[in-house]
Amino acid sequence: MARRDLRIALLSIEGTNCDEELRVALATLGARPEIVSLKQLEGREVGPEERRRLADYDALFIPGGFSAGDYVRAGAIFAARIRASIGPELEEFVRSGHLVGGVCNGFQVVVELGLLPGRSGGRLGTPEAVLLTNDSGHFECRPTFVSWEGGAFPALRDLPKGTRFLFPSAHAEGKLVLSGDPVAHLRSLERAGQVMFRWVTPDGAPAVYPWNPNGSPGNVAGLTNPEGNVFGLMPHPERSFFRAQAPDWSRHGGPNGFGDGHRFLDAVLAHAERVR
């Protein structure tokens, strides 16, 4: 593939635990993903050979996990450390049009940073939403389905609205609650095309529990910022990247080939190539 010069930082701190899965997926698609500790970007407690700079990368992903133990709120401590250490660099990275993606705990982090739903110009700020404890009151881990809403995310614009993806979920705090008047806020995001994914049933109908694993109003499972270069989603595309990860592989077609996560991440990288 012609993506060997597409450099992607997978940002991690203690508690991040999906970085290697995401690294394998992006490397399989031909990119050059690198797991980068926040300390490497800060230049703290690392030698010169380990120092990294955000500007050296074409895209940034914040993987899933339980960063800093998810104390305070899920993703809050990771977001606070990013804001305090590399906040200005991250704002410039977003303003320049680079792609920033958050998966599960990474979605929680970008929401806590104020990058999602987001302000024009890529500015960090007070959170405009929060990911609260699932309505069930416990950790939910199962195959789930999302539907592409045909919005502002340019990587998926060639797909028909309603295209479904099987992405597994694994989270305890995934209920998206918007600030202010949540109903009016959601309507404004819908009009702006910022609702990227909604939870659906396997046949594409509006989801109820357990197909909506957390109770998010409007079945919202993923968002983008107004410009479409910051995105976040609660389920895990890297966990449905290979066909062997599918729950039905032993009954239908065997373990070879790729799953829906490959289709999604391939489209994301194709867009990252276009805007770099």
The pLDDT value recorded for residue 256 is 85
User: pLDDT by residue (tens digit) across 194-206?
Assistant: 999 999 999 999 9
Other beta carbons within 10 Å of 156: 25
Backbone torsions φ then ψ of 231, nearest 5 degrees: -140, 155
| In the chain, where the domains are located | 7-275
The pLDDT value recorded for residue 1 is 47
User: pLDDT by residue (tens digit) across 45-80?
Assistant: 888 889 999 999 999 999 999 999 999 899 999 999
Other beta carbons within 10 Å of 46: 14
Please compute the mean of the pLDDT values over residues 182-190 and round it to a whole number. 97
The pLDDT value recorded for residue 234 is 98
Could you give the residue numbers annotated as active site?
Answer: 104, 236, 238
**Greatest CA separation found in the chain?**
53
The HSE-up count of residue 107 (CA atoms within 13 Å, CB side) is: 27
User: pLDDT by residue (tens digit) across 73-113?
Assistant: 999 999 999 999 999 999 999 999 999 999 999 999 999 99
pLDDT of 253 above 80: no
Superfamily classification of domain 7-275: Class I glutamine amidotransferase (GATase) domain (3.40.50.880)
The pLDDT value recorded for residue 248 is 85
The pLDDT value recorded for residue 246 is 87
